[in-house]
Structures are given as C-alpha cells and as structure tokens.
Amino acid sequence: MTYDLFIGDRLFSSWSMRGWLMLEKFSLPYKTQMIGLYSGTMTEDMKPLAPARLVPALRMPDGTVVGESLAMAETLAERHPDAGLWPADPAARATARWLCAEMVAGFTALRGECPMQLHHCWTGFEPSADTLRDLDRIETLWAHSRSVSGATTGPLFGAYSLADVFYTPVAARIIGYGLPVSDANRVYCLDLLSDLSVRQWRAMGLTVSYDPFPYALGLATQPWPVGSPVARVVDAGPSVNTTCPYSGDPVTDFLELDGRIWGFCNPFCRDKTAADPGAWPKFSAMVAGVNDS
C-alpha cells in the first residue's frame, strides 16, 4: 500500500511541505511526484487529478484523489489510527485540530506578505501591522496549546503531531523574515526547522536553481541558520567510496568534504548532500565509518 503525493516545489511551496511532512514524519508509505508549479505546466500536470487543482494532492492506493491539506491529514489519521498523527488525549486532539483549521483559514497577512522561502534569511524586513497581529494570534494559540498539553518545550502537544506539521512553514516564515516572537517561540521555530526531515526537504529544494528568484525583496540576506553547507561539488574523483550511499549504484558524481572526495550515483544525490551533509544519516554513517577505520 503506497500513496502518491503530488507536490509543487520544496523551497517555496508551504502547502507541499505540509503534505510531505504528514507522510514522512509518520512513516507512511508514499511516492513523490512533482507538479510544475513554476515551470508553467501545473494545469496540465494536474489534469489526471481533477477536480483537484492545487498542491499538495494525495492519490490513495485505490485511486481515490484527496485534495486540500486538512482533508489529507484527516484521511491519513483515519486510515492510520496507530501512527499518532493527532494527539492521543481528547482535549489535546481537539485543540490540535483547531490550530490546524485556523492555520488553513487564517493568517492571510502573514502568508501574503511573507511567502515561505527556505533559501536564506532576509534582513531589515519590516512587517505590517496586520502581520504583527497574525503573529500575536499565533503566539496566543501556541500558548493555549501548551496550557492544554502541559508541554513547555518541544512539540506543542508533547509528541510531534499534525499541529507541528501545519506550523512548520509558519516557523520558516518567522525565521526567514526575522519576525518578532518571544524567545521561547523562536526556539520552537528553530526546533521545527532543525528536524532531520525538514533539513532533508530543504536540501532537496536547494538542488533546483531559479532565475529569477521567486518573491525577491531587494533586501540583504543572511545564511539559513540550520544545516548550512560545508561541502562543494567537484568535477571528478576518484572518491573514497565506489558506490552511492543511498542507492548502492556505482558513483558518477562527486563532492568534496573536509578534504575528501565522496561519490554519488547521480547529480541529485550529490547536490542534496552538498546542500546539507549532516541531514543524511546514510552519508553520515559512511563518513563516520571511514573516519573510524
């Protein structure tokens, strides 16, 4: 049983990110298919999923198509009751549903003024009064969640849930635009963005280049605070390894890390690793094995 998940872009599509996290973080079987969100092919690519018209979209094993993130979340929670998508406690579960529903329906100023982008952090951004009101509302909801769950740090309801999934792109906006929140909530945002799955999502997004860069602001930038690259792509080997750490296939593409050359079976494997080497346990294990030998 495998789901087909249709997404539009990793660096910029906040809703695609939510769809991917609700499958990836709860270990549900899926295959990812890309929709041409910025290439101009989105309408044509979405035709087999009609009447769904936006990403993400989910095709279930029986062929049923589910559009809209909240519907996808509820469908997956219903089909996988033991996966823990919603909190187990009834009060926490109701509150988590409330937070997700308000995320889908609200915060229009924040979402419109601060499109999600995972490439870098803007400096000198000045949020509008409406965006500041959205941020205040978000902090109120997060505080209420913690009062219900008793969790003072980490996921809003103690264990990671769909509430954290739905607010991860909000965290990316807060950090990416330097928006004002409490110190505790800034830590929560950085916790969400430091999650290994989120780092992998961003690293895969960084394999794509854009010209022009979407949503450019003309402001100075700072590096993204999590998973900054420390590797560089090189043209040729030989490499320490002869097979790709992900596929096991012979290596054809290379990067340099800490003075050593490592090989991969294709440019995508190489580039996602170069973007954030520490995000990939199989690569990290290979490096550690060589260092320990």
Do 113 and 150 belong together in one domain?
A: yes
Domain membership flag for residue 206: no
Instruction: Decide which of 199, 222, 257 is a domain's last residue.
Output: 199
Contact 12, 215 (CB under 8 A): yes
Phi, psi values for residue 3, rounded to 5°? -85, 150
Q: What's 42's domain CATH number?
A: 3.40.30.10
pLDDT grade, residue 292 (50/70/90)? confident
Tell me what the mean pLDDT of segment 254-280 comes to. 97
- What is the Cα–Cα distance from 56 to 65, expressed in whole angstroms? 11
Do 102 and 61 belong together in one domain?
A: no
Do 45 and 70 belong together in one domain?
A: yes
Do 60 and 107 belong together in one domain?
A: no
Angle at 107 between CA 105 and CA 109, to 5 degrees: 130
Domain membership flag for residue 124: yes
Instruction: Decide which of 47, 79, 111 is a domain's last residue.
Output: 79
Number of domains observed in the structure of the chain: 3
Domain membership flag for residue 183: yes
> Does residue 132 surpass a pLDDT of 70?
yes
Contact 28, 15 (CB under 8 A): no
54-107 confidence digits (pLDDT tens): 999 999 999 999 999 999 999 999 999 999 999 999 999 999 999 999 999 999
16-42 confidence digits (pLDDT tens): 999 999 999 999 999 999 998 888 899
Phi, psi values for residue 260, rounded to 5°? -115, 150
Q: What's 155's domain CATH number?
A: 1.20.1050
> Does residue 6 surpass a pLDDT of 90?
yes
Domain membership flag for residue 36: yes
Token pair for residue 64? 């049923």
Structural domain for 126, as ranges: 90-199
Do 19 and 45 belong together in one domain?
A: yes
Do 150 and 193 belong together in one domain?
A: yes
202-229 confidence digits (pLDDT tens): 999 999 988 888 999 999 999 999 987 7
Do 107 and 175 belong together in one domain?
A: yes
pLDDT at 39: 80
Tell me what the mean pLDDT of segment 124-150 comes to. 98
Instruction: Decide which of 17, 46, 79 is a domain's last residue.
Output: 79
Express as a percent the part of the chain with pLDDT over 70: 100
Tell me what the mean pLDDT of segment 141-159 comes to. 98
Contact 116, 173 (CB under 8 A): yes
> What amino acid is encoded at 102 in this protein?
E
